[in-house]
Structure formats: C-alpha cells, structure tokens
Amino acid sequence: MMSILITLMTFLLFLSAVGTAAEPGSVLSVEYKHVKSGHTWKDAQEFCRKNFLDLATIYNQGHANNLYLLEYEAWIGLHRGTSNTWEWIDGGDYNIDWASNEESNDGEMCAVLGYHYYYYRKIYSRDCEMKSFAACQIITSSSTTITQKMMSWSEAKDHCMSISQKLATFTMDGMKLFSKHDFPIWIGLHRHDGSWKWSLGLKEDKYWNLGPSDNKDCVSITSATKSLAAENCQTLHPFICMNDNLILVKEEKSWEEAFEHCQGLGFNSNLRFNLLSVKPGDEHNYVVNRITEADTEEVWTGLRFLGDEWLWINGKDVLYTDLLQCPPLGSHCGAISKNDSSAVAARDCLERKNFLCYSY
C-alpha cells in the first residue's frame, strides 16, 4: 500500500509539472525511411528490422497520400577509370553538381543521379554492385529514360547498349532533364498463413482489400499515384522502413508498477520515458498493430481516472468519448486491447499487464 501511495504522489507531482490543461498533438512519433537501392521483399524486411523497426505499415489512402516517395537514384555513365579518377563513358568532360563530399568517397567506383523533390538533383558515388534504376540515353540526343528494373552499374550499361542507347552523360544543365517517375516501392504487406498481413506484428490488413495473389505474395506502393499491387517477392524494388518512439514492455505489472518502470528507463540516457497516451483513429490503429506481440490480451496506457475525470498522465487531451464517466471503484486505469481498434477500457489498476512506454 505504501508503494502505491508513493507512486500516486509521484504521478500527481508529474501532472503538476506538465500541467493538466489540454494540449493538442500526439506523443507518438513515427518516422519513415525511403531506401532507394533495390532489394527483394525478404531482404528489405531484414534490412528494416536490423536498422529500424520494420517495413512500413500504411493504414489507408490518406496515410499513403501523405508520404513523399518521389525520390530515386539512377545509374549514369560516370565511373572511376583505371587511374582512379572519375570518367564519363563517352570520354566527355562535363561540369556536374556533386553532393557534398561524394566525389571523394573511397571505394565507391560508380555514380548515380539522385532525384530529390522537384528541382533538387545531385550526383552521388555508389558501390557498383548496388541495385539501382538506370538512366539510358539515346546516343544521338539528350532524351533520357529511367528503367523500372533495378540492376548493377555494369548490368545497366549492358542494358542500355542492348536497346541501342548508353548510360546517360550530361552537363549540369542536363540534370534538369531528369523528372519524377511513378515506380513501385516495397511496403510491409504480404501473404502470411493465407491472408494479407503486415510485417510488423503480423496484424491482418482490414483496409486495402487485395484480391487473390496468383503467387504474387508481396505488396508494393507506387511512388506518385500511391496505388498498391501484389508482386513476386523476388523482384528488386526500393522500400520503406519505419521507426517509432515506442517500447513494448512484455512484463506483467500493475498500472503503478508500469508507470514506475517507464519513468525509470531514462536514467542512463538523454531521453525521458512515460506511459503512452493515445489518440483515437489512425493513431489508435497503429498502437493496436504495435501490441500484437504482447504477452497479455491488453496493455496498460497512461490513462488514469483521478478525482472525477480521466487524465492522460502527460496532460494531453483525452479524446475518447466512450469512457465510463463513473468507473467502478478500483477500475481507474486505462488499457488497450489487441482486438479493439477504437476504444480504451477502464480496468482494475492492480491487474497485471504488459505496457507501452514512449520516449521524448
């Protein structure tokens, strides 16, 4: 009992410090990383899980439309020659715009043009075996096309020659000829145990309504039109990784113990941690997807009934409208279920559950 009282005092002091006035916005931070080199779906998944959280989950068309995916890289006819100096394959000496320090990168022997946004284009050095698009140019003109197939630099050179073209060569003004393209990018949706599921947590998709796969068991999104399509998982595509600021703690603790645990995570870093607050809608859906690997059916959040109202312990707005206005004695703590995409439930604070912390 003394431990619980001390924890509640800490909770009240925390509320006093941050203020209980409503604050707009979210504490959930989700970042997306567009990796421009070509990978199979499985290799892309392994890369994302090693360096980030997982391949990206995309919940609906509005979410997809908000992602900027137009950036790409394409092999050009520039490489290091036998003297280790940069040379154009047609022997030209063109003034170009290198990205910062890219010209001097040791060990990277081939070059790509990187297309960023609508007017920003730079030259980057890359490992010649990296898989990328190819910029093929008609030999007698400056007309350039970007291949949809991803290949190494030498494969790109051979491909352009096979269609009576060459890898693109150009002056700085010629860089303006490169424009946006609509190309496929791997995301985390794939066929698993007979249904379409997301790589993160293997939550079954409920929105996109993809049909039979015909042995095309992995899904891409197009960079410009933002449409989804099932494809052969062995195809090489760029991909999108995701990361967030959540920690799913798979230990069974009471609400007060979970609160103390999150608070204690930041002692050895510059970050601070707290139990998570959640907004209904897409954010709630994201959290439900995130907790599919929890060991308990429900997980604690930072929701607490105190006095005569529900409060997030970080002072954010409580936007859920279906919470009990007079919960039973003891059921004064909020939990989210792995199987409920819309609600936070009032639960006995002494129940033992996994929980979600967030960093800030």
| pLDDT tens for each residue of 48-105 | 999 999 999 998 898 899 999 999 999 999 999 888 889 999 888 888 888 887 877 7
pLDDT in tens, 135-152: 999 988 888 899 989 999
Do 62 and 189 have their domain in common?
yes
Q: Which residues of 173-203 are buried (b: 16+ CB within 10 A; e: fewer)?
A: ebbeebeebebbbbbbbbbeeeebbbbbbeb
For residues 182 and 142, what is the distance between their CA atoms, to the nearest angstrom? Answer: 21
**Identity (one letter) of the amino acid at 91?**
G
CATH number at residue 100: 3.10.100
CATH number at residue 311: 3.10.100.10
User: Is residue 323 situated within a structural domain?
Assistant: yes
User: Is residue 301 situated within a structural domain?
Assistant: yes
Number of structural domains found in the chain: 3
- Residue whose C-alpha is closest to residue 223's, from 9, 99, 69, 55: 69
**Identity (one letter) of the amino acid at 236?**
L
Helix, strand or coil for residue 232?
coil
User: Is residue 23 situated within a structural domain?
Assistant: no
Contact between 77 and 167 under an 8 Å Cβ cutoff? The reply is yes
Q: 134, 152, 177 — which closes off a domain?
A: 177
Contact between 189 and 198 under an 8 Å Cβ cutoff? The reply is yes
**Identity (one letter) of the amino acid at 343?**
A
DSSP 211: -
For residues 31 and 8, what is the distance between their CA atoms, to the nearest angstrom? Answer: 33
For residues 333 and 346, what is the distance between their CA atoms, to the nearest angstrom? Answer: 6
Which residue carries 């900027």 as its tokens?
A: 68
Q: pLDDT 10s per residue in the chain (360 long)?
A: 434 443 444 444 344 333 333 334 689 999 999 999 999 999 999 999 999 999 999 988 988 999 999 999 999 999 998 888 899 998 888 888 888 878 777 778 999 999 987 668 899 999 999 999 999 999 888 888 999 899 999 999 999 999 999 999 988 777 877 888 999 999 999 999 889 999 998 888 888 988 877 889 999 999 999 999 999 999 999 999 999 999 999 999 999 999 999 999 977 778 999 999 999 988 998 899 899 899 999 999 999 999 889 999 999 999 999 998 989 988 999 999 998 878 999 999 999 999 999 999
Task: Tell me which residue range forms the domain holding 261.
Answer: 245-359
Do 197 and 56 have their domain in common?
yes
pLDDT recorded at residue 19? 35
Do 98 and 128 have their domain in common?
yes
User: Is residue 18 situated within a structural domain?
Assistant: no
**Identity (one letter) of the amino acid at 4?**
I
User: Is residue 318 situated within a structural domain?
Assistant: yes
- Residue whose C-alpha is closest to residue 163's, from 142, 147, 183: 147
Beta-carbon-side half-sphere exposure of residue 11 (alpha carbons within 13 Å): 24
pLDDT recorded at residue 266? 78
Q: Which residues of 70-99 are buried (b: 16+ CB within 10 A; e: fewer)?
A: bebbbbbbbbbeeeeebbbbeeeeeebebe
Do 126 and 208 have their domain in common?
no
**Identity (one letter) of the amino acid at 171?**
T
Do 114 and 49 have their domain in common?
no
Do 249 and 355 have their domain in common?
yes
pLDDT recorded at residue 25? 61
Do 132 and 219 have their domain in common?
no
User: Is residue 288 situated within a structural domain?
Assistant: yes
Do 124 and 167 have their domain in common?
yes
User: Is residue 15 situated within a structural domain?
Assistant: no
- Residue whose C-alpha is closest to residue 112's, from 83, 139, 140, 86: 86
User: Is residue 211 situated within a structural domain?
Assistant: yes
For residues 65 and 150, what is the distance between their CA atoms, to the nearest angstrom? Answer: 25
Do 254 and 333 have their domain in common?
yes
Phi, psi dihedral angles at 47 (to 5 degrees): -60, -45
Do 232 and 252 have their domain in common?
no
Q: Which residues contact 38 (CB under 8 A, 6 or more apart)?
A: 130, 131, 132, 150, 151, 236, 237, 238
pLDDT recorded at residue 67? 93
Q: 204, 225, 243 — which closes off a domain?
A: 243
Helix, strand or coil for residue 293?
coil
Do 39 and 186 have their domain in common?
yes
pLDDT recorded at residue 17? 34
pLDDT recorded at residue 349? 96
Helix axes 2-18, 255-264, angle to 10 degrees: 60
Do 79 and 171 have their domain in common?
yes
DSSP 276: P
Both structure tokens of 84: 């280790």
